[in-house]
Chains A and B, each alone.
Chain A
Amino acid sequence: MPSLRLTVLNSLFRGVAITLAALLIPACSPRQKLKREFPPLPKDVDIITKPPGRYGGIYINVDPGGGPNTFNYLVAEDATSMGAIGTVLEGLVRRNSLTEEIIPGLAKSWEVSPDNKTYTFHLREGVKWSDGAPFSADDVVFTFACIYDERFPNRHASDYSIDGKPFKVEKMDNLTVRFITPDIYAPFLEMVGGGPILPKHALQKFADNGTLMKAWNIGTHPREIVSTGMFRIASFKPGERLVYEPNPHYWRADNTGQRLPYLDLYITKFVRDQNASLAAFATGQSDSEGITPDNVEWVRRGEKAHNYTVHERGPSTVCNFLWFNQNPEKDKSGKPFVEPYKLKWFQDVRFRQAVSHGINREGIIKGVLFGRGTPLWGPETPANTKWFNPDLQKYPYSPEKARELLKLAGFRWNEAGELFDSAENRVSFTLNTNQENPIRQHMATVFKENMKDLGIEVKLQLLDFGTFVKKIGESYDYECGMLGLTGGGDPVGGMSVYLSSGRMHEWYPNQKKPATAWEARIDELMMKQLKTLNLAERKKYWFEVQRIMSEQLPFIYLITPNSYEGVKNRWENVEIPKSGGITWNLDEYYLK
């Protein structure tokens, strides 16, 4: 913590610099540049229910992801780029992160036809892009035309189709758009309605000459990146920072007619690692910061000095799990992917359950995470309040139970306490995981020690990410893997994981026919939940999938670290959701 003397020194240092600068050249005042325009509000303006705030303030956020790679929605593949695009481009509907409800966005309302396959959106009248061009149904049609265009391969096209058949997007009139889906598609509103709408007037020329994928890159002038969101881009310095300023044509206002956002500027600084962003927050240089469990304590010590609060958000959405390779097939040379005698263990649910009972999850949480984590028993973490099934089969740490189960499954121990199967094979396997994630590494070393207590020998093999992905996704030559996936959201995101034909059905991917009865049941449930719009029914199906996963344990779930967010106390209207970014309602933030 900087002592008084150092603070004085620091201010002297700055003072000299500023005086020098001020003396030599008349400085252009920052105020001038921050002048805001206030064009008239659109007819269908969205009036917020919260009491009005006042203008002003700069919100600074430090992003350890290193900054966006692109501002092009069709190109973006990483979270940071998507985040920047989401700040600038609004979708037809929005999601209230706090209540997890779908709320109106660029569309003020919508209807669903009785057969649940046609959606009609009514756009807000009078909404303009940040450059003043009117927003209309043409933009919506254009957006989907680009996504489906063969010339612009992008990851969204398949999200927006069912069995390869795209949705039909029709302009009814200037402010009405109709989507027709080939079949019932449960997550339509969230997946499709929430997707950003691209500006036809700005991007048409790139689409026409086929260079759309190169448009809106990190070298594009900020003014060309037009916005319907709360902010537009004021300046961007790759590797350094992205400065947003209010979108003068934003379509939300408070009840006194003040257009949102209240902020003068929103700045994201980019750094390369967590340390730097954490240091910035803990020394009062940024307004909010996600804090990992092991750092909470010391960051809290600065709460008074730098006037921030560390909020606990509960379990995070990161789901860590390990699994055994149950792939019974053979490689090209006819060698089985997994030794047949080992495959026999891995396919035995009692073996998997014993392993799960043998893992000291509480120990990892207490020791490594300073008590700030939550054990996991199924595919959803409790952070996903809407879809989390709390009623699952649990496997608390109990070497005794584990031994019982192993005995039942025909395993036995020699005098030295080493475990053997009924055919006298020593129980030993190699655990693979990627080397980039420290907490996962700790889990792996703890797992190894825990298994040693059961007489099982685990060899650790930490691989670089590329090698690991290849092993589990292409060559299948491994025995046991450990991975963390950021989950949350709609169960539809897990189709490739839970369907037995799925690419990420890690324990035995791309099956022609479900290998077991319970996998067949999961397939059936996953298809069912996709084909109904009834939330209660979808929940029922998805809860059963979670239940089956927890009983059969193809994935042995480990722990999730809790998540913490530090926020400066000076902001009003901070609403921290259970999961997702905390700046989802940044347009409502104002200085206390």
Chain B
Amino acid sequence: MTSDLLHQILRRRAGAFCLVVLILFYVAAFFAPLLAPYATSDQDLTKTYHPPTGVVWQEGRLAVRLYKLVDPTCAKYEAEPGQFAPIHFWVKAPTYHFLGFIPVSHRLFGVEAPARLYLLGSDETGRDVFSRLLYGSRVSLTIGLIGILITTVIGLTVGGLAGYFGGVFDSVAMRGTELIMAIPGLYLIIALRAALAKYFDDSDQIFILIVVILSFIGWAGTARVIRGLTLSLRNRPFIYAAEALGQGPVTILWKHLFPNLFSYLIVTSMLSIPGYILGEAALSFLGIGIQEPSTSWGLMLSQVQDLKVFMLNFWWLLTPGLAIFITVILFNVLGDVVRDIVDPKLKTQV
């Protein structure tokens, strides 16, 4: 079924394009430590708000221009004519444990210090925006995947069991979902965030907290729909047949009901990922999302909500916004394509 779906997606131009670009994004996020010329925390206080370094072909190899800070009061840099630093490939760098256990002591490309390579400029403490974007994508791109994973698992379990068993379990579960859905989302998020923050000290754990909170809001809707679908499938002959064969409820749910819900799940998953990405960005923007020294697109974007970025034209600091925008569009388009393939009758949801 999955390979069939993939095949159909690839047959459509829009679907293929979105899928390929998204996969590229994920690959880049996965190999971020290798691709990024610098670590996220590498600062250079003499090169803050550095514009993107120009890349030129110089003496038979790629090189970057060197810049001079001509006016420190407004971070104005000018390229020094005739000054270049060659770009080296597969350069030695401080050792980093890829995936936590593979020691890597090289990066794909870089320039020799003290020159710095800023493909997308630098931020207020001279950190490389390009590297931070790559590392930040790990948070922003996975938050949706982990989020839907959690909501789907909880939603399937609760909704499936409620629909299958009915009775007291059903009403308790449904009142629970109604309770969550009866609180305006943002209020609940803020309250949860404030209440739970103390259990997630480390800045890496904040990521988990954000996912947990967003999933906590999200599972209720999934559970209700799953329950409805299960209810409608519950009385189909094939379920009765399975029961007659003596299969337990868990087996029946797993073997007979869930495959029938697959198409629904894949579509809603695709279409709800943007919600997580935008949710993380909004939380970070309000200052209650991902925290330094971790990085995410939302956090990077929240750090530029400042007039000077526009007035002094530090446009490269807006690239995280562009990254969010593009990713969300890709997911939306892909979601629509998948929906058209899987279930053309499903109406576009508001």
The answer to whether A436 touches B287, judged by C-beta atoms less than 8 angstroms apart, is yes
Which residues of the partner chain B approach A462 to less than 8 Å between Cβ atoms?
203, 291-292
CA A463 to CA B201, docked complex, whole Å? 8
Task: Let me know if A77 is at the binding interface, CB within 8 A.
Answer: no
The answer to whether B293 touches A464, judged by C-beta atoms less than 8 angstroms apart, is no
Task: Let me know if B306 is at the binding interface, CB within 8 A.
Answer: yes
Count: A-B pairs, CB below 8 Å: 92
Which stretch of A60-68, A259-267, A445-453 is in the interface?
A445-453
Task: Let me know if B303 is at the binding interface, CB within 8 A.
Answer: yes
B3 to chain A, nearest CB (A): 45
A298, A435, A441: the one contacting B312 at CB < 8 Å is A298
Which residues of the partner chain B approach A296 to less than 8 Å between Cβ atoms?
73
Interface of chain A: mostly helix, strand, loop or mixed: helix
The answer to whether B197 touches A463, judged by C-beta atoms less than 8 angstroms apart, is yes
* 5 more CB-based (< 8 A) A-B contacts, given A278-B307, A370-B75: A297-B73, A298-B307, A367-B48, A368-B124, A460-B293
Binary per-residue interface labels of chain A (291-317) against chain B in the complex, 1 for a CB within 8 Å, 0 otherwise: 000111110010000000000000000
- 10 inter-chain pairs at a CB distance below 8 angstroms, sorted by A residue, are A282-B311, A298-B311, A364-B45, A367-B46, A368-B124, A368-B125, A370-B72, A370-B74, A370-B75, A448-B41
CA A275 to CA B305, docked complex, whole Å? 8
Residues of A within 8 A of B (CB): 275, 278-279, 282, 294-298, 301, 360, 363-364, 366-368, 370-372, 435-436, 438, 441-442, 444-446, 448-449, 459-464, 466-467
Given A370-B72, A371-B72, A462-B203, also A448-B293 (CB < 8 A): yes
A77 to chain B, nearest CB (A): 21
Smallest CB-CB separation from B95: which chain A residue?
A: A416
Interface residues of B in 273-302 (CB under 8 A from A): 287-288, 291-293
Instruction: List 4 tightest A-B contacts by C-beta distance, closest first.
Output: A367-B45, A363-B45, A297-B74, A298-B311
Which residues of the partner chain B approach A367 to less than 8 Å between Cβ atoms?
43-48, 124-126
A258 to chain B, nearest CB (A): 40
- How big is the B interface, by class? 20 to 34
Task: Let me know if B61 is at the binding interface, CB within 8 A.
Answer: no
CA A360 to CA B73, docked complex, whole Å? 19
A304 to chain B, nearest CB (A): 16
A469 to chain B, nearest CB (A): 13
CA A366 to CA B46, docked complex, whole Å? 7
CA A364 to CA B292, docked complex, whole Å? 17
A279, A441, A461, A464: the one contacting B202 at CB < 8 Å is A461
B214 to chain A, nearest CB (A): 18
B202, B303, B307: the one contacting A275 at CB < 8 Å is B307
A479 to chain B, nearest CB (A): 12
Task: Let me know if B198 is at the binding interface, CB within 8 A.
Answer: yes
Which residues of the partner chain A approach B203 to less than 8 Å between Cβ atoms?
460-462
Binary per-residue interface labels of chain B (173-208) against chain A in the complex, 1 for a CB within 8 Å, 0 otherwise: 000000000000000000000100110011100000
CA A370 to CA B43, docked complex, whole Å? 15
Q: Could you say which of B41, B73, B75, B303 has the most chain A C-beta atoms within 10 Å of its C-beta?
A: B73
Which residues of the partner chain A approach B126 to less than 8 Å between Cβ atoms?
367
Task: Let me know if B308 is at the binding interface, CB within 8 A.
Answer: yes
CA A462 to CA B42, docked complex, whole Å? 19
CA A174 to CA B124, docked complex, whole Å? 61
CA A278 to CA B311, docked complex, whole Å? 12
CA A467 to CA B201, docked complex, whole Å? 11
The answer to whether B48 touches A368, judged by C-beta atoms less than 8 angstroms apart, is yes
A446 to chain B, nearest CB (A): 6
B41, B75, B125, B202: the one contacting A442 at CB < 8 Å is B125
CA A445 to CA B48, docked complex, whole Å? 14
CA A5 to CA B45, docked complex, whole Å? 41
CA A467 to CA B292, docked complex, whole Å? 17
Smallest CB-CB separation from B124: which chain A residue?
A: A368
Smallest CB-CB separation from B303: which chain A residue?
A: A438
The answer to whether B43 touches A445, judged by C-beta atoms less than 8 angstroms apart, is yes
B190 to chain A, nearest CB (A): 11
The answer to whether A446 touches B125, judged by C-beta atoms less than 8 angstroms apart, is yes
The answer to whether B198 touches A467, judged by C-beta atoms less than 8 angstroms apart, is yes
A270 to chain B, nearest CB (A): 18
Given A275-B305, A366-B72, A448-B293, also A360-B125 (CB < 8 A): no
Smallest CB-CB separation from A363: which chain B residue?
A: B45
A279, A371, A436, A449: the one contacting B41 at CB < 8 Å is A449
Given A294-B308, A367-B124, also A372-B73 (CB < 8 A): yes
Smallest CB-CB separation from A459: which chain B residue?
A: B202
CA A467 to CA B125, docked complex, whole Å? 27
Q: Could you say which of B75, B291, B292 has the most chain A C-beta atoms within 10 Å of its C-beta?
A: B292
A278, A297, A366, A460: the one contacting B292 at CB < 8 Å is A460
The answer to whether A363 touches B46, judged by C-beta atoms less than 8 angstroms apart, is yes
CA A386 to CA B201, docked complex, whole Å? 42
Interface residues of B in 32-64 (CB under 8 A from A): 41-48
The answer to whether A442 touches B124, judged by C-beta atoms less than 8 angstroms apart, is yes
Which residues of the partner chain B approach A275 to less than 8 Å between Cβ atoms?
305-307
CA A179 to CA B45, docked complex, whole Å? 55
CA A278 to CA B309, docked complex, whole Å? 13
A483 to chain B, nearest CB (A): 16
Which residues of the partner chain A approach B202 to less than 8 Å between Cβ atoms?
459, 461
Q: Could you say which of A297, A459, A467 has the most chain B C-beta atoms within 10 Å of its C-beta?
A: A297
Given A444-B292, A464-B197, also A294-B306 (CB < 8 A): yes
CA A366 to CA B72, docked complex, whole Å? 7
Which residues of the partner chain A approach B303 to less than 8 Å between Cβ atoms?
438
Smallest CB-CB separation from B72: which chain A residue?
A: A371
The answer to whether A298 touches B43, judged by C-beta atoms less than 8 angstroms apart, is no
Given A297-B74, A446-B125, also A464-B45 (CB < 8 A): no
B74, B194, B201, B291: the one contacting A435 at CB < 8 Å is B291
CA A320 to CA B41, docked complex, whole Å? 22
Given A279-B307, A297-B312, A464-B288, also A449-B201 (CB < 8 A): no
Which residues of the partner chain B approach A360 to less than 8 Å between Cβ atoms?
45
The answer to whether A445 touches B293, judged by C-beta atoms less than 8 angstroms apart, is yes
CA A298 to CA B126, docked complex, whole Å? 20
Which residues of the partner chain B approach A279 to less than 8 Å between Cβ atoms?
307
A12 to chain B, nearest CB (A): 26
Given A298-B312, A435-B291, also A445-B198 (CB < 8 A): no
CA A297 to CA B41, docked complex, whole Å? 27
Smallest CB-CB separation from B127: which chain A residue?
A: A445
Which residues of the partner chain B approach A298 to less than 8 Å between Cβ atoms?
74, 307-308, 311-312
Binary per-residue interface labels of chain B (6-44) against chain A in the complex, 1 for a CB within 8 Å, 0 otherwise: 000000000000000000000000000000000001111
A32 to chain B, nearest CB (A): 38
Which residues of the partner chain B approach A282 to less than 8 Å between Cβ atoms?
307, 311
CA A364 to CA B308, docked complex, whole Å? 18
CA A460 to CA B312, docked complex, whole Å? 30
CA A463 to CA B196, docked complex, whole Å? 12
B221 to chain A, nearest CB (A): 28
Which residues of the partner chain B approach A370 to less than 8 Å between Cβ atoms?
72-75
The answer to whether B293 touches A366, judged by C-beta atoms less than 8 angstroms apart, is no
CA A296 to CA B41, docked complex, whole Å? 27
Smallest CB-CB separation from B312: which chain A residue?
A: A298
Which residues of the partner chain A approach B42 to less than 8 Å between Cβ atoms?
449
CA A449 to CA B94, docked complex, whole Å? 15
The answer to whether A295 touches B307, judged by C-beta atoms less than 8 angstroms apart, is yes
CA A459 to CA B201, docked complex, whole Å? 11
Binary per-residue interface labels of chain B (83-109) against chain A in the complex, 1 for a CB within 8 Å, 0 otherwise: 000000000000000000000000000
Which residues of the partner chain A approach B43 to less than 8 Å between Cβ atoms?
367, 445-446, 449
CA A448 to CA B126, docked complex, whole Å? 14
The answer to whether B45 touches A435, judged by C-beta atoms less than 8 angstroms apart, is no
CA A282 to CA B303, docked complex, whole Å? 21
CA A360 to CA B42, docked complex, whole Å? 15
Smallest CB-CB separation from B47: which chain A residue?
A: A367
Smallest CB-CB separation from A449: which chain B residue?
A: B43
CA A441 to CA B291, docked complex, whole Å? 10
B195 to chain A, nearest CB (A): 11
A521 to chain B, nearest CB (A): 37
CA A371 to CA B72, docked complex, whole Å? 7
CA A371 to CA B49, docked complex, whole Å? 13
